[in-house]
A and B are shown apart, each in its own frame.
Chain A
Amino acid sequence: MHPALSVIIFTSLSGAGYGSLAILAAVKYFDFFTLNPLYGFFSSAISLLIVTVGLISSTTHLGHPRRAWRALSQWRSSWLSREGVFAVLSYLPAGVFCVSFLIPTPFNSIIDIICLLTIAFSLATVFCTAKIYASLKTIRQWNHLLVVPVYLIIGLFDGAIFLVVLLTIIDGLQFFQLNYFIIFLGAVAGLAKILYWWSIDSTQSQSSTSTATGLGSSNKSVSMLDAPTTSETFIMREMGFAIARKHSRRLRLITILTLSIIPIIIIFLMTQPIALVSPLVLGIIAIVFSYFGTIIERWLFFAEAKHVAMLYYGASKV
């Protein structure tokens, strides 16, 4: 599938934004550590901003961005619509959550409910985003059990790194539990991606040029002799993206390094007393790497996905 930049930016940014909102709300709800109100306000506000930038980016690939509101109507059947609905709904609790840091209320139970709603809507939005892809039977590499967990884990991972960095900036503080949580998430993300790649490499599609045309049999191969047009059709432009095996292997390695291994090491170093580099510098390096890794991971997610319709256009397998 053709990797569209706007969609890659949207899924990675919104994942990170919702991830950090969910973690922040969980920290508050379970009282893992005391949140400095200024920190709570800024980190939730910036998370919402990141989410908003992502959502706006996602509308830029639409043919009619100004009709985007219509996408909220078909939540009964469409994961894309559900994603939109949760994205809009999440602004309510997340907005109240954000402001609640500035205006202390005596009603702790209300804040608790707000926290729970923030967690639920944030995770639900990322879940729906992943489901848009995972529910497509036409693309074997997407219609996979690991797609949804990977979207959620990477979102939480990117979000948590962002929270750690803000913590060192605003609070000048570190809560090592958060660092250990990131290390755990990074390791799970890396392992899940390796398992995913192994799985898509070792399974085969049920569909082939033979089933697509109904012309083949065990002793008769079917192959394309002539395309319907001398130039490329919409289908070929949208779905005909193919990445060389050599390149995909290299990018997989880069993904594991930048998304998982390097950030894990840096986040671990932050917990160690080293005088040379400040935790803030370390944290920023970790953000740069993990976000770069996320972009490459998303790009590959598209580039390695093969649509069955390409069987009509000369693909020998999908």
Chain B
Amino acid sequence: MTSLPTNQTNKKLGLVIDLDICVGCHACAVNCKEWNAGGHSAPMTDWNTYSGTETKNGEDSGAWGVWFNRVHTFEVGKGQESKTVYFPRSCLHCDEPACVTVCPTGASYKREEDGIVLVNPDTCIGCKLCSWACPYGAREYDETDGVMKKCTLCIDKIYNENLDEIDRIPACVATCPAGARSFGDLGDPNSDVSRLVEDRGGYDLMPELDYRPVNKYLPPREPQINVLDDGQPLSLVSMADNANQTEPSNNSILKWVDTILSR
């Protein structure tokens, strides 16, 4: 049923991603692929894996495939003030997911009990309309399977009774070496993740579209001290400026070397 559940519980499982901590290592994306290649939406097909279709004129679309989680890199600000921010992006398990309501078959649905948005691979006809309806580019079509795929919030891991309690968290969260990802119930204001969002000013992506994403992002913190104010070290820019103005050395040996080398 692609109408949204009418008696949705308050439980909203989701992720909180800390952009201050993420180091852009792509480990979450890789482990996501690893887990899900054998999970609910398996397989996660790759094509042209070895870029082997290179044509005579050098064209090659490159290796590509289905991923549920991708790490982008953005530059915020310009020049000396700029900052590089790594930005992991996966399904945000929205509260108003148009990806679900546009689905003509009922294959896309939002779970009543925990708000997870899933695709049923047995009924999806592969019309791709849901991927058009998702603002976050979270859905990727599997050409080989002919069905749409997306982040499952590792539904087959977080409820998996064969795993130890401590391992019942999404693969991307478990693997993050920097601890930039947290998982929990964002519908419960007292949960750890809700508190984290509260403390750090967690926010929604593209709030203007009203999809009301459950996943939240934590902003990078402002730098505590400005290295330039401290005088040390010199920024590369001023070092480069100074380099131009450096007078030729008076040291006679260096002068001689310079003459020899300039011949």
Contact = CB atoms under 8 A, between A and B. Distances in A.
Interface in A66-120: 67-68, 70-74, 76-81, 84
Contacts of A299: none
A1 B131 CA distance: 12
A89 to B, nearest CB: 15
Interface string A117-146: 000000000000000100111110000000
B63 A77 contact: no
B159 interface: no
Given A74-B1, A207-B135, A309-B135, A63 B145 contact: yes
B128 A238 contact: yes
Q: Chain B contact residues: over half helix, strand or loop, or mixed?
A: loop
A234 B3 CA distance: 26
A233 B135 contact: no
Contacts of A73: 104-106
A220 interface: yes
Nearest to B208: A206
A265 interface: no
A230 interface: yes
A242 to B, nearest CB: 16
Contact of B61 (A61, A64, A227, A231): A231
Contacts of B3: 74, 76-77
B125 A63 contact: yes
Contacts of A288: none
A214 B140 CA distance: 23
Contact of A235 (B26, B137, B147): B137
Interface residues of A, number: 60
Interface string A194-223: 000000000000110101111110011111
Interface residues of B toward A: which range?
35 or more
A314 to B, nearest CB: 9
Given A74-B104, A215-B19, A220 B76 contact: yes
A244 to B, nearest CB: 20
B72 interface: yes
Nearest to B147: A63
Given A63-B145, A211-B206, A214-B205, A226 B63 contact: no
Contacts of B217: 214
Contacts of B102: 77-80, 132, 135-136
Contacts of B61: 231-232
A308 to B, nearest CB: 5
Given A206-B208, A222-B76, A229-B67, 9 more contacts: A67-B105, A74-B1, A77-B102, A78-B101, A227-B73, A228-B26, A228-B72, A231-B64, A235-B140
Interface of B: 1-4, 19, 26, 29, 51, 61-64, 66-67, 70-78, 84-85, 87, 89, 98, 100-107, 123-129, 131-137, 140-143, 145-147, 203-210, 217, 219-220
A-B pairs, top 7 by smallest CB distance, nearest first, are A63-B126, A63-B146, A231-B62, A309-B137, A226-B73, A228-B70, A81-B104
Interface of A: 1, 61-65, 67-68, 70-74, 76-81, 84, 132, 135-139, 206-207, 209, 211-216, 219-235, 238-239, 307-310, 312-313
15 contacts: A61-B128, A64-B124, A67-B105, A132-B129, A135-B102, A206-B208, A221-B76, A225-B73, A225-B74, A226-B73, A230-B62, A231-B51, A232-B62, A239-B132, A308-B209
